[in-house]
Amino acid sequence: MTEPKALYRLDLQIPDAPDEERLATLLAEHVPWGWEECLTDAGTELSIHCHSLEHLERVRQRMLAELPRAEALIEQTVDQNWALAWRTYFRPRLVAETFLVLPAWERTHQAAPGQIPLIIEPKMAFGTGHHQTTALCLEALARLWDEQELRPGSVFLDLGTGSGILGIACALLGMTGLGLDLDPVAVENAAENSALNGLNQRFGLAVGSVASLRPDSRFDLVLANILAEPLIAMAPELAAHTATRGRLVLSGLLREQEDSVAETYQKHGGRLDLVLRQGEWAAMVWTFEQPEPEKHSQSEAR
């Protein structure tokens, strides 16, 4: 029998009422796989599980820097029921009447006509389709597909791929593309999910950021489900890598952040076509009309 893998838990006690927007942004940035939150008479209690003690220590330090009155303790536990815990709440979910997101243990679930089954093995990578930011991206993708703005053979980039769910959805529609993530664990999980869906030939994966792309690479569709601050910082690069009349889908935005993100992307030539909202989260669909880079013959390039 395989020995249970070590698992670490960070417990945070926050006595003051935190800035909910800032706290949500911090947690989404550093703990994208999820956390437990409980409101008590003493304040807010958070529990975060992770296999990497080093990463959890970084999260602890960042949270204490932002919340100086908080108390934080890391303890080691045994990862006995991690996979089983997912089964208590990860059920099949239909998104935008198009994508039927299935956990791997329910892969035999029969999809109705017109539904596209999308199999995900949940691990410590963001993206099961249950979080609003991921569901909004899938809804935007379904709309673009229904409106024939995207077609089989279109080329996509899934930036911050996480579990790979968005890139897999694109590939299941017949597109080809690349998923990038800074977290090697996420890329490993995305590769496993890609294989579960039989897509290894249409969905490439690599550890990296937008800076790792070739300067002349262009994509018909760019999906970036990250956070507002890094999306604002990456606006020049994301605009440059979106093909002429290509679509850029941005998610991971709180509603209060819509205006600042919109202002930034409009300055880089974007036209805002659609804003989708669920709860406190929003996603934006952009079109770019910038000309393609000029091509030169070999004689001209010398």
Q: Any idea what the CATH number is for the domain that residue 280 is in? A: 3.40.50.150
195: in domain: yes
Residues 59 and 155 in one domain: no
Distances (CA, A) of 239 to 93, 139, 182, 183: 32, 21, 20, 23
pLDDT in tens, 64-116: 988 888 899 999 876 555 555 556 556 788 888 899 988 888 777 878 888 99
Residues 130 and 272 in one domain: yes
Residues 43 and 159 in one domain: no
295: in domain: no
pLDDT in tens, 151-160: 999 999 999 9
Contact 265, 286 (CB under 8 A): yes
Contact 154, 179 (CB under 8 A): no
Q: Which domain holds residue 217?
A: 126-288
Residues 9 and 149 in one domain: no
pLDDT score, position 209: 92
Please choose, from the candidates 33, 2, 1, the residue with its C-alpha nearest in 3D space to the C-alpha of residue 189: 33
Q: What is the DSSP letter of 84?
A: H
**Beta pairing, strands 43-50 & 36-40:** antiparallel
Which segments of the chain does DSSP mark as H helices, in order? Answer: 20-30, 53-66, 82-87, 132-146, 165-172, 184-196, 228-233, 235-240, 258-267, 298-301
Residues 73 and 145 in one domain: no
CATH number for position 29:
3.30.70.100
pLDDT score, position 83: 54
Separation between Cα atoms, residue 234 and residue 180, nearest integer Å: 14
* CB burial of residue 38 (10 Å; 0-12, 13-18, 19+): exposed
Please choose, from the candidates 206, 189, 268, 258, the residue with its C-alpha nearest in 3D space to the C-alpha of residue 235: 268
Is the model's pLDDT at 228 over the cut of 50?
Answer: yes
249: in domain: yes
Last residue of a domain, which of 45, 80, 115?
A: 80
302: in domain: no
Last residue of a domain, which of 56, 80, 104?
A: 80
Is the model's pLDDT at 255 over the cut of 70?
Answer: yes
189: in domain: yes
Residues 153 and 277 in one domain: yes
Q: Residue 301's beta-bridge partner residues?
A: none
What total of structural domains would you count in the chain? 2
Residue 60 in tokens? 């602890």
Separation between Cα atoms, residue 289 and residue 287, nearest integer Å: 7
Residue 174 in tokens? 């017949």
Separation between Cα atoms, residue 10 and residue 225, nearest integer Å: 25
pLDDT in tens, 117-155: 999 887 655 666 677 889 999 999 999 999 999 999 999
State the angle between helix axes of 20-30 and 53-66 in degrees (0 to 180), rounded to the nearest 10.
160
- pTM given for the model: 0.74
